Structure 1
Amino acid sequence: MCGMVTADNAIARKIGIMGGTFDPIHFGHLYIAECSRHRFGLEKVIFIPTGDPVHKSRKGITGPARRMEMTALAIRSNPYFDISKIEVDRPGPTYTVDTLNELHGEGTGDRIFFITGADAIMEILTWKDVDRVFRLCEFIAITRPGYSFKEIDQVLSRLTKTQRERIHFHQTGGILISSTDIRQRVLCGAPIKYLVPEKVEEYIKEYRLYLPE
């Protein structure tokens, strides 16, 4: 159940960032962002669609302009949500450390919380400049009821105490929606209503996304 955390830093704003291909963005993404915002007292959550994702194959990924537009349509009714082109505009592979460097380079002094699935923490040690990543942000690691920490504990044991303290596990009820499943449903002619926002559904239909050319 969500509950507000009292801010322990009276000066710095608490900003959430949520990256992903968002191909397409769906209600699962939006639910996690909103519940994280409420639970951790975030002033806003910035959605950052990836440009050239390092950990995913480029094959079949919708162009960044389309993914940006779908994300913008999905979040526009929530005044606490924002969107950034920071990774789309950056040439070359997308690395989290570069995004964090750029955000901090704006000089706002914000306290940044990177919202991600707990499973992503399993790969954290493979991230570029992981030590600097931990210095630049804290993590909100989303889990679902019944999540097993057995494997992730092995990863956590290899982190420093300070790094472990910068990972905040947050259990949500979870909305089991997959972008992969949505794309497959579109391809098969199955409905995606109530899986994505209405405007995103209309956009997918208008531009015939996820269908054979």
Structure 2
Amino acid sequence: MKVGLMGGTFDPIHLGHLLAADSVCEALELDEVWFMPTNVPPHKEHKPGASAAERLEMVRLAVEGHPRFRASDVELRRGGVSYSIETVTRLRKEHPDKQFYYIIGADMVQYLPKWYRIEELVRLVTFVGLERPGYSTEYETLPGPIREAVRLVRMPQVELSSTEIRQRRAEGRSARYRVPDRVNDYIEVNSLYET
């Protein structure tokens, strides 16, 4: 079974995340994509605006009803900083029958050499870099062993970010049409990201 792993703060999850996962599912014929909210992201400066439980619930609401999408709390259960090597090692131990594909944005491909224990990680998982118009993955400049572990998949250009959605909410504006309807309802009912 081929499983895509999509990590992120998902603060909040938005339609761009779902479109990216769907693009990879189609291109690589994945059986499932697991969305894994990070506990403490190693690459981000800001602390999440929503709690871990709220972020996980928004992911659950976003993927509910999709036959191949799943919400996973593996990184939240582990606690601490969410290092990919620890997550992938654990998942491979728990699911030895699955082949994992780690989905990352175009901007993250060039930073792979700086990832914690990347030399081990590239032996455990295939990375899928999302190619978007206007973004360079700098794939050609990656060291050989890392480059060999990366597949590139094109996705449509979507100008959406969780930062923009939080900003809109802080300004009293809606996140509608940027997040799934059920996620929007959850954000509004729980007054998330309001100042």
| Structure 1 and Structure 2 fold alike (TM over 0.5) | yes
**In terms of mean alpha carbon deviation, does 20-29 or 121-130 score higher?**
121-130
- 1:152 Cα deviation from its structure 2 partner: 4.5
| Structure 2 runs not aligned, ≥5 long | none
* Structure with greater proportional helix content: 2
Structure 1 residue 182, shift from structure 2 partner:
0.4
Q: Which has the larger radius of gyration?
A: 1
Say if 2:63 is the partner of 1:75: yes
- Of residues 157, 163, 168 in structure 2, which corresponds to 1:180? 163
Match of 1:45 among 15, 20, 33: 33
Q: Which amino acid aligns with 2:9?
A: T
Distance 1:181 1:115 in 2: 22
Instruction: Map 1:32-181 onto structure 2 (within 5 A).
Output: 32-149=20-137, 151-154=138-141, 156=142, 159-160=143-144, 162-181=145-164
Q: Deviations over 1:4-61 (max 9, x none)?
A: xxxxxxxxx1110100000000000000101110110100000000011111135353
Q: Structure 1 stretches (4+) deviating beyond 4 angstroms?
A: none
Match of 1:202 among 178, 185, 188: 185
Match 1:26 to one of 7, 11, 14: 14
Q: How many angstroms apart in 2 are the aligned matches of 1:49 and 1:70? A: 10
Q: List runs of 5+ in structure 1 lacking aligned partners.
A: 1-12
**Aligned residue-pair number:** 195
Tell me the percent identity. 37
Amino acid at match of 2:86: D
CA 1:60–1:29: 2 relative to 1, 3 Å = closer
